Chain A
């Protein structure tokens, strides 16, 4: 009896092993082509099994998919592995298939004002060295940027020129001139950007002090100046006896007095019909607001649950790559107001909180 059961057990064990091997090993006429970087396996075998399957090839398809996936996984197990925070991870090789472009080709940008001028005059830029020998400090310094070679704001001794006011602060004058140059450069950069994206810059056309401006113009300039702060004028103090500006909100628009009488009548009848229909009308605004509030609450609850666990993993990944110089280091080519143009109505139907 025991002998039989032992034999049975052994036989069963052998059967299990064979089955496992059978599951893992897959026979194919042609070897599959693997691109493990993209987790891709291409099967070039002719699909004879599928063709004679009939109208519903689901079972055959599933078997084929299982076989091919098994082969792919077998390949993955052969890759070099490493350990990352209590998990064994395989290091994938570089992908070999070239994927098509995700985004369309970039449009050629219009030339900046300087580029147009240079093209007209035939000016070509000379190749300049990055580092210049600075006598004063006795070392090689950058041509421009942080700790540049000849920075006139950093001089410790400035001679007062003959025709200048002796009480003028020459150091402050140089710093002021630099600030003006930086501001002018920034303005030109934004103008070039606006020209590239065909957008309008907010202009300060009538707001510069001329000495003969009317009371209204001065008032307008003062209002614009008040709103031109980082908090859009919210924390600006008023002078002791200054009154709040009247009518600075949006002006309400009403229908014209003699508008289309027929249209007016139609609107009113429509309103009456809705009122009399005795069915509760779906208020789209309220419905969407409610939906959005529910979604926000769900997200907040989820974040709160993940919050104490996620904070242990560490801060955001550090920024890689070099940063060259301080000026002009901004990499994005879109003007700051561009993102705001997308209206908040990305959800279908209804406006967000009136």
Chain B
């Protein structure tokens, strides 16, 4: 488990921003607690600081998951968003429903 590097954060934010835009900073900076993104086995988990401190006590190979999985980084370092992130992205979504980025841009520009 480790925090994300600059590059990885940038790639991930670019992907998520396609769905929720500027509301992303509400995910980063929450009023009700410190949440952070952590990488474990190429998967990005959105987890509160309390739970992360508990998870740090589990050895890496025995740790399966922590918090919510937002997505994973592929072998060529692209970020793929998973459906488990929906609960967090839905309240900030710009449009109802989740569409591909191309269709989303079309709808935004209309």
Contacts and interface: CB of A to CB of B under 8 A. Distances in A.
Contacts of B36: 261, 264
A327 interface: no
B29 interface: yes
A255 interface: yes
Contacts, number: 48
Interface of B is mostly: helix
B34 A261 contact: yes
Given A264-B36, A269-B28, A257 B13 contact: no
Interface string B1-45: 111011001100110010000101100110000101010000000
B53 interface: yes
B49 interface: yes
Interface of B: 1-3, 5-6, 9-10, 13-14, 17, 22, 24-25, 28-29, 34, 36, 38, 49, 52-53, 56
Interface of A is mostly: helix
Contacts of B28: 265, 268-269, 272
Contacts of A261: 34, 36, 49
B105 to A, nearest CB: 14
Contact of B2 (A257, A265, A269, A276): A257
Interface in A244-285: 254-259, 261, 264-265, 267-269, 271-272, 275-276
B94 to A, nearest CB: 14
A95 B1 CA distance: 74
Interface in A99-135: none
B17 A268 contact: no
6 contacts: A257-B3, A261-B49, A265-B28, A269-B28, A272-B24, A275-B17
